[in-house]
Amino acid sequence: MSFLFSRSNKTFKPKKNIPEGSHQYELLKHAEATLGSGNLRQAVMLPEGEDLNEWIAVNTVDFFNQINMLYGTITEFCTETSCSVMSAGPRYEYHWADGTNIKKPIKCSAPKYIDYLMTWVQDQLDDETLFPSKIGVPFPKNFMSVAKTILKRLFRVYAHIYHQHFDSVMQLQEEAHLNTSFKHFIFFVQEFNLIDRRELAPLQDLIEKLGSKDR
């Protein structure tokens, strides 16, 4: 599967849109407005009177779109040759399995892994039984565990970009965009305890640095 890369349309996969006029759209607008205030710790908090599942759903879609765009900017540098394994530095390597199509973890290149991962996330987000977009349709009982798996896997794309492609990100002058997006992501998963600390180990130093700046 190949992806056309152009500077004007920097997404790796099609953007996932939240329907305008829906409650989730209003929540997304609220999130964007509070982000503009500059206080990320406050921006990630559950707005008063809102449903936790819905807040996590809206933000998960937003993070998917952000990572989609960030990875889209560096796809020409992330190739079968340059990144023959999906890694985050020399100590961390990821093998792909989704439990359905690929049950046994397979070793593959980073572009292939990220393609599998983003396609899998997209399928979850498009599944109305998992991510209901209509008002009054309840979230499934396993929603939180699905959201945690999605966010855990999305983290790996950030980790790969930071460890293997940060030079390219700097060349493209995208580092401020990457850092802000990752800081928002980390504060969000910390606020609701969505990713196990061990999973965050590849970027632990950066996470501590971002956190200390905010104290």
Which pLDDT score, from 0 to 100, does residue 213 have? 65
**Considering only 29-33, 39-43, 177-181, which range has the smallest mean pLDDT?**
29-33
If pLDDT is split at 50, 70 and 90, which confidence band does 11 have?
A: low
Which pLDDT score, from 0 to 100, does residue 5 have? 34
Which pLDDT score, from 0 to 100, does residue 133 have? 83
Which pLDDT score, from 0 to 100, does residue 134 have? 80
- Rounded distance between C-alpha atoms, residue 54 and residue 59, angstroms: 9
102 alpha carbon, distance to own chain's centre = 21
CB-side neighbour CA atoms (13 Å) of 134 = 5
- Rounded to whole angstroms, the maximal C-alpha distance in the chain is 50
Which pLDDT score, from 0 to 100, does residue 12 have? 63
Which pLDDT score, from 0 to 100, does residue 29 have? 76
Which pLDDT score, from 0 to 100, does residue 13 have? 67
**Which tens digit of pLDDT belongs to each residue from 178-207?**
999 999 999 999 999 999 999 999 999 999
Do residues 10 and 72 make contact, with C-beta atoms less than 8 angstroms apart? yes
- Rounded distance between C-alpha atoms, residue 53 and residue 59, angstroms: 10
Q: Is 108 annotated as a binding residue?
A: no
On the question of pLDDT at 130 being above 70, the answer is yes
* Position with higher pLDDT, 5 vs 193: 193
**Which tens digit of pLDDT belongs to each residue from 150-177?**
999 999 999 999 999 999 999 999 888 8
* Position with higher pLDDT, 19 vs 71: 71
Angle at 169 between CA 166 and CA 170, to 5 degrees: 90
The residue written with tokens 């340059």 in the block is: 82
**Which tens digit of pLDDT belongs to each residue from 74-121?**
999 999 999 999 999 999 999 999 888 888 999 999 999 999 999 999
